[in-house]
């Protein structure tokens, strides 16, 4: 196969690339420049936008012995991921930018360009497994439960997944580091990247405040009584308890949590922990990673609502475009805009964007 | 089979230059030492200096050896600016190499310099009327005017004598890195105050260049520590590099006329072949007065990032204007300065031919370019 290996400069993508090259594929390494000004989004070597990272990726490609190029995806990244992130927050939702990046950049813009150049697939260092089954090619959780990234890949449709390779899905992270060392890849000990790659400080609220302003507004309880003041509704997350600075305590002194963010009225609603409980989740814009579940019928499976959240047993049904999941046990705190991913055992069925909860 | 068409970036060392480099590597001796070995090295370095000076139309004492063209440009620009604190304005053409633009912009940011950019015509030649106006209006405050002798991306030769005439007694620095050894270059005849030349662009080794600085002028050094080169540049003299530089200059000058026509004929073949294979392609920067071997082409509807990958995969090495420190290709400031749109600049690449280029290589490129341009049209 002719493969484009997306190399971030980290250990995972370096080992994934090395495995593809070693397997005899014709491989080129590509580092995605996601910011037109590397200093604009982040500084320091924790993510995937810096001079150091592009250098590390280049050195890894040298050591593997493959050609290496930088592809400028800054515009696509800004329009498709960063703008979307800001917009979602402005609408009172809580987006996951890694999902959008996989959906719009890595397995869309990159895959498209790769195919245009005559390549068959894009390989990344994501932890997930693709399997050939009687239902076609399906995606499954990685063997390393701590690293499993199938959640952030569940936004890929079948066609995109057919052009995707995840060579690390069968390996635990510690072994990947050992393998990197054995292969002489000097990124072997590079720390994992966390946080949001375009917010270098890790201060998401401050970053959003710079872009969305900090118009203050009321914090109210469930009956609409004002109990405090906030400085920008979008800096709060559902389920948040600390930092609310409420002026009026509850009668019993029980803590209150953020239940809802209403961007139109610029209001944050707080209430008791019990009110956070969600057992009915509705999602829109469904994407199917493999065979689509029979419409109208109720199926057993698991719902996951965070990248490293627990799989929650549920009944789910779909009309093809939307997914509705009813959890066996309620969960606490779920914001609209988050990704709902449905699993059948370890197989990823598909995903949807949470639009309503009860 | 790799086809190297990036000679303007760096060109293979000439066999004679490799030979003189390795022969000098065997010798011991610091050119600054008074003992026999030191004297022998010093003698060889001075003979090299004299040879290069004759070739560049300057006096031997006007040659200050440095480690690169970039260093020479930095030395001239910062050196003139710092040596003359009462004048704050630096005039540069918009199509200078980054080795000129970056130090000027650094001085603006950190040292109170004022930059005036002298525009170029749509052909990529410095606009003399505009320059005259700039100089007339700012004469008293101009520390330095910098206009390159020829442009590295499009190969246009610049009207340096005219620039010098307009400047009057304002110092004029010219980056002649691409010109020296390929077209006639006469430092004194042009009336320049300073100029930059570099060995690796004409078949000498990497890591050697020179600032040619008019006699009697003092500029502020960048490096301090021994004052080996006219007290303006310190460092142990790089004898093998300098001696090999001189060999490459000697060879290039001896064969200048023959090389010019050989390389330019091949470049013509390449231009014709490309235009035939990709009729909508546009050749940039042809003025009738160009460096030999620079073929700058726009392939409308493509992205050069993609073109270069496809060419590389086909074993053809070409290049594009410039990349940022993280390696991202940027639209060429030279093309933008000529009034070419960002989209067209993004669709433009440079082939540069040189001593090792063969007709067979040009034929191969002409045969494969149509398919590559087609594939790059995404």
With beta carbons under 8 A apart, name residues in chain B contacting A116: 306, 375, 378
Same domain, A259 and A229: yes
Residues A309 and A323 in one domain: yes
Dihedral sign, Cα of residue A281, residue A266, residue A97, residue A201: negative
**Does residue A203 fall inside a structural domain?**
no
Question: Residue A47's pLDDT is what?
Answer: 39
**Gyration radius from chain B CA atoms:** 21
Q: State how far the Cα of B222 lies from the Cα of A66, in Å rounded to an integer.
A: 40
Q: Do A113 and B312 touch (CB under 8 A)?
A: no
Tell if the CB–CB gap between B327 and A67 is shorter than 8 Å: no
| Residue-number span of the structural domain to which A286 is assigned | 276-357
Of A223, A251, A271, the residue that ends a domain is A271
Packing angle between helix B256-277 and helix B359-376, nearest 10 degrees?
Answer: 30
Closest CA to B294 of B3, B95, B99, B8: B8
Whole-number pLDDT of residue A249: 80
- Residue A82 sits in a domain of what CATH number? 3.40.50.620
Q: Is residue A73 part of a domain?
A: yes
Chain B residues lying within 8 Å of A114, measured CB to CB:
none
DSSP string, A262-314: ETTTTEEEEE-GGGGEEEEEEEEEEEESSSPPPTTS-EEEEEE-STTPPPEEE
Coil/strand/helix, residue A256: coil
Based on the domain organization, do B268 and B223 belong to the same domain?
Answer: no
Residues 292-311 of B with CB under 8 A from A: 305-306, 308-310
- Asked if A74 lies within 8 A of B312 by C-beta distance, the reply is no
pLDDT digits (tens, 9 = 90+) for B283-331: 999 999 999 999 999 999 999 989 999 999 999 999 987 666 667 777 8
Same domain, yes or no, for B160 and B201? yes
B160 has pLDDT over 90: yes
Question: A328 lies in a domain?
Answer: yes
How many Cβ atoms sit within 10 Å of the Cβ of residue A230? 23
> For position A236, what pLDDT does the model report?
86
Measured between CB atoms, does B2 come within 8 Å of chain A? Answer: no
- Alpha-carbon distance of A221 to A204, in angstroms, equals 25
Enclosing domain of residue B130: 15-254
Q: Are the C-beta atoms of residues B170 and B139 closer than 8 Å to each other?
A: yes
Rounded mean pLDDT of A292-296?
92
Do B185 and B327 have their domain in common? no
Q: Is the torsion defined by CA of B54, B58, B60, B66 positive or negative?
A: negative
On whether residue A156 sits in a domain, the answer given is: no
A31 vs B contacts (CB less than 8 Å): 327
What would the mean pLDDT of B258-275 be, rounded to a whole number?
Answer: 97
Q: Provide the pLDDT confidence category of residue B82 given band limits of 50, 70 and 90.
A: very high
pLDDT of residue B329: 75
**Predicted ipTM > 0.90:** no
Mean pLDDT of B347-371: 97
A173 and A66 part of one domain = yes
Are B92 and B189 part of one and the same domain?
yes
Percent of chain A scoring above 70 in pLDDT = 96
Q: Do both B282 and B175 map to the same domain?
A: no
Supply the CATH number for residue A296's domain: 2.40.30.10
Verify that A226 and A184 share a domain, yes or no. no
Contact B332, B348 (CB under 8 A): yes
Q: Are residues A295 and A331 in the same domain?
A: yes
Answer with the one of B207, B226, B254 that is the final residue of a domain.
Answer: B254
Q: Please report the number of interchain residue pairs, chain A to chain B, with beta-carbon separation below 8 angstroms.
A: 45
CA-CA distance, B343 to B330, in Å (whole number)?
11
CA distance B130 to B44: 46
Share of chain A above pLDDT 90, in %: 64
Lowest mean pLDDT across A25-39, A168-182, B198-212, B343-357: A25-39
Examine the domain organization and report whether B123 and B242 are in the same domain.
Answer: yes
Q: Which residues of B are catalytic?
A: 324
Question: What percent of chain B stands above pLDDT 90?
Answer: 95
Q: Which residue of A has its CA nearest to B346?
A: A72
pLDDT bucket at A46, cuts 50 / 70 / 90: very low
Average pLDDT over residues A301-305: 97
- pLDDT value, residue A45: 34
User: Which among B52, B35, B344, B6 has a CA at the least distance from the CA of B197?
Assistant: B52
Total domain count, chain B: 2
**A115 shares its domain with A177:** yes
Do B123 and B340 meet the contact criterion of CB atoms below 8 Å apart?
no
Do both B330 and B311 map to the same domain? yes
B368 touches chain A (CB under 8 A): no
Asked if pLDDT for residue A79 goes beyond 80, the answer is yes
pLDDT at A340 over 70: yes
Chain B closest-CA separation from residue A67 CA (Å):
8
> Which stretch, A77-86, B139-148, B369-378, has highest mean pLDDT?
B139-148
Least confident stretch, A31-35, A324-328, B354-358: A31-35
Q: Is residue B233 located within the same domain as residue B369?
A: no
Backbone angles phi, psi at A141, to 5 degrees: -60, 155
Candidates A49, A98, A101, A289; catalytic one: A101
DSSP B291-319: -TTEEEEE-TT--HHHHHHHHHHTTEE-B
At A152-178, the pLDDT tens digits run 999 999 999 999 999 999 999 999 999
How many beta carbons lie within 10 A of that of residue B315, not counting itself? 13
**pTM, to two decimals:** 0.85
Mean pLDDT (chain B) is: 96
- Answer whether B156's CB lies under 8 Å from B290's CB: yes
Helix crossing, A11-22 with A51-64: angle to 10°?
Answer: 20
Q: Are residues A264 and A308 in the same domain?
A: no
- Residues from chain A that touch B324, judged by Cβ atoms under 8 A, are 38
**Is residue A24 located within the same domain as residue A38?**
yes
Q: Which residues of B touch A69 (CB under 8 A)?
A: 305, 308-309, 312
Q: Classify residue A105: in a domain, yes or no.
A: yes
Number of domains observed in the structure of chain A? 3
The alpha-carbon gap from B355 to the nearest alpha carbon of chain A, in Å, equals 26
pLDDT at A40: 45
**What is the sign, positive or negative, of the torsion defined by CA atoms of B287, B288, B294, B299?**
positive
How far apart are the CA of B376 and the nearest CA of chain A, in angstroms? Answer: 7
Catalytic annotation, pick one of A48, A49, A98, A197:
A197
pLDDT at A64: 96
A71 vs B305, B313, B375: nearest CB: B305
Q: Looking at the domain assignment, is residue A35 inside a domain?
A: yes
* B312 and A CB contact within 8 Å: yes
- Which residues of chain B are within 8 Å of residue A33 when distances are taken between CB atoms? 326-328
Residue B196 pLDDT exceeds 70: yes
Q: What is the mean pLDDT of residues B10-21?
A: 98
Write down the pLDDT at residue A214.
Answer: 84
Q: With an 8 Å Cβ cutoff, are A117 and B306 in contact? A: yes
Chain B residue with minimal CA distance to A56?
A: B326
Closest CA to B123 of B84, B100, B155, B99: B155
Q: Tell me how crowded residue B133 is: count the other CB atoms within 10 A of its CB.
A: 13
The answer on B368 and B250 residing in a single domain is no
Q: Provide the mean pLDDT of chain A.
A: 90
Confidence of residue A182 (pLDDT cuts 50, 70, 90): very high
Please state the rounded mean pLDDT for residues B141-155: 97
pLDDT at residue B46 greater than cutoff 70: yes
The pair of three-digit structure tokens given for residue B176, joined into one six-digit string: 């002649």
**Contact present, A63 and B319 (Cβ < 8 Å):** no
Question: In the predicted model, is pLDDT for residue A194 greater than 70?
Answer: no
Tell me, yes or no, whether A342 and A234 share the same domain: no
pLDDT of residue B291: 97
Say how many residues make up chain A: 358
pLDDT attached to residue A198: 84
The answer to which of A34-48, A99-113, A244-258, B339-353 has the lowest mean pLDDT is A34-48
Contacts of B313 in chain A (CB under 8 A): 28, 67, 117
Asked whether residue A23 is domain-assigned, the answer is yes
Do A225 and A119 share a domain, yes or no?
A: no
**pLDDT in the model for residue B323:** 66
Q: Are B243 and B24 in contact (CB under 8 A)?
A: yes
Mutation target to probe the B interface, by most B beta carbons within 10 A, among A29, A33, A118 is A33
User: How many beta carbons lie within 10 A of that of residue B167, not counting itself?
Assistant: 22
Check whether residue B126 and residue B204 sit in a common domain: yes
- Residue B186 shares a structural domain with residue B263: no
Residues A134 and A78: beta-carbon distance below 8 Å: no
Cβ contact, residue pair A31, B313, below 8 Å: no
Look at A31 and B327 and tell me if their CB atoms are within 8 Å.
yes
- CATH code for position A251: 2.30.30.280
Higher pLDDT, B201 or A36: B201
CB contact under 8 A, B305 and A74: no
Question: Is the predicted pLDDT of residue A28 greater than 90, yes or no?
Answer: yes
Give the pLDDT mean for A297-310. 94
pLDDT score at A50: 67
SS3 state at B188: helix
Q: Would A346 be classed as within a structural domain?
A: yes
DSSP secondary structure of B36-48:
HHHHHHHHHHHHH
| CA–CA distance, A192 with B3 (Å, rounded to integer) | 40
Contact state of B327 with A113 under an 8 Å Cβ cutoff: no
For residue B305, the chain A residues in CB contact (below 8 A) are: 69-72
**3-state DSSP assignment of residue A143:** coil
Query: Band of the pLDDT at A48, cuts 50, 70, 90?
Result: very low
- Over residues B333-351, the mean pLDDT reads 95
Dihedral sign of CA atoms A313, A314, A317, A322 in order: negative
Same structural domain, A119 and A248 = no
Q: Give pLDDT, residue B219.
A: 95
A267, A286: one domain: no
Same structural domain, B213 and B273: no
């Amino acid at each position: 196969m002719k493969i484009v290996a997306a190399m971030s400069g980290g250990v995972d993508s370096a080992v994934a690339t090395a495995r593809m090259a070693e397997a005899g594929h014709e491989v080129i390494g590509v580092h995605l420049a996601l910011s037109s000004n590397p200093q604009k989004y982040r500084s320091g070597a924790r993510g995937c936008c810096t001079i150091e990272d592009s250098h590390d990726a280049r050195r890894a490609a040298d050591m593997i012995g493959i050609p290496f190029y930088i592809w400028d995806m800054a515009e696509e990244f800004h329009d498709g991921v960063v703008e979307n992130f800001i917009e979602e927050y402005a609408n009172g939702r809580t987006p996951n930018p890694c999902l959008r990046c996989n959906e719009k950049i890595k397995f869309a813009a990159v895959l498209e360009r790769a195919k245009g150049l005559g390549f068959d697939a894009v390989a990344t260092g994501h932890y997930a497994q693709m399997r050939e089954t009687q239902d076609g090619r399906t995606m499954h959780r990685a063997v390393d439960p701590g690293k499993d990234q199938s959640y952030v890949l569940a936004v890929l449709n079948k066609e995109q997944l057919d052009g995707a390779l995840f060579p690390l899905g069968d390996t635990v992270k510690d072994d990947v580091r050992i393998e990197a060392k054995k292969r002489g890849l000097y990124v072997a000990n590079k720390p994992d990247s966390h946080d949001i790659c375009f917010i270098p400080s890790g201060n998401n609220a401050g970053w959003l405040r710079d872009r969305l302003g900090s118009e203050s507004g009321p914090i109210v309880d469930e009956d609409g009584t004002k109990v405090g003041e906030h400085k920008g509704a979008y800096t709060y997350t559902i389920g948040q308890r600390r930092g609310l600075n409420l002026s009026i305590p509850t009668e019993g002194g029980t803590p209150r949590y953020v239940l809802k963010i209403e961007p139109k009225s610029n209001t944050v609603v707080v209430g008791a922990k019990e009110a956070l409980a969600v057992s009915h989740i509705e999602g829109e814009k469904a994407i199917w990673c493999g065979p689509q579940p029979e419409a109208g019928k109720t199926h057993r499976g698991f719902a996951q609502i965070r990248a490293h959240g627990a799989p929650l047993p549920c009944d789910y049904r779909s009309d093809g475009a939307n997914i509705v999941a009813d959890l066996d046990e309620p969960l606490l705190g779920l914001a609209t805009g988050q990704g709902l991913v449905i699993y059948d055992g370890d197989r990823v069925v598909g995903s949807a964007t949470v639009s309503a909860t009860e | 089979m790799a086809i190297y068409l990036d000679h303007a970036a760096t060109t293979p060392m000439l066999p004679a230059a490799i030979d003189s480099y390795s022969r000098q590597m065997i010798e011991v001796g610091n050119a600054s030492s008074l003992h026999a070995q030191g004297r022998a090295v010093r003698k060889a370095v001075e003979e090299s200096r004299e040879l290069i000076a004759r070739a560049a139309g300057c006096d031997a004492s006007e040659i200050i050896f440095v480690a690169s063209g970039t260093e020479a440009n930095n030395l001239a620009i910062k050196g003139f600016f710092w040596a003359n604190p009462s004048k704050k304005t630096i005039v540069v053409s918009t199509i200078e190499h980054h080795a000129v633009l970056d130090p000027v912009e650094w001085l603006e940011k950190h040292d109170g310099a004022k930059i005036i950019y002298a525009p170029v015509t749509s052909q990529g030649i410095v606009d003399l009327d505009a320059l005259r106006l700039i100089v007339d209006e700012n004469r008293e405050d101009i520390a330095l005017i910098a206009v390159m002798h020829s442009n590295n991306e499009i190969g246009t030769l610049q009207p340096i004598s005219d620039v010098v005439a307009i400047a009057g007694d304002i110092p004029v620095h010219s980056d002649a890195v691409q010109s020296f050894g390929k077209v006639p270059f006469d430092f004194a005849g042009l009336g320049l105050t300073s100029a930059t030349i570099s060995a690796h662009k004409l078949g000498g080794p990497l890591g050697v260049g020179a600032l040619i600085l008019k006699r009697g002028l003092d500029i502020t050094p960048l490096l301090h520590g021994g004052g080996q080169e006219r007290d303006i540049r310190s460092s142990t003299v790089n004898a093998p590099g300098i001696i090999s530089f001189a060999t490459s200059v000697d060879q290039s000058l001896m064969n200048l006329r023959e090389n010019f026509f050989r390389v330019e004929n091949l470049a013509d073949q390449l231009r014709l072949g490309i235009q035939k294979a990709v009729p909508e392609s546009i050749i940039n920067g042809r003025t009738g007065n160009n460096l030999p071997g620079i073929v700058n082409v726009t392939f409308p509807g493509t992205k050069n990032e993609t073109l270069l990958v496809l060419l590389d995969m086909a074993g053809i090495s070409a290049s594009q204007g410039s990349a940022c420190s993280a390696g991202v290709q940027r639209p060429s400031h030279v093309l933008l300065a000529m009034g070419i749109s960002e989209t067209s600049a993004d669709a433009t690449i440079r082939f540069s031919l040189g001593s090792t280029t063969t007709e067979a290589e040009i034929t191969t490129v002409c045969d494969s370019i149509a398919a590559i341009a087609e594939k790059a049209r995404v």
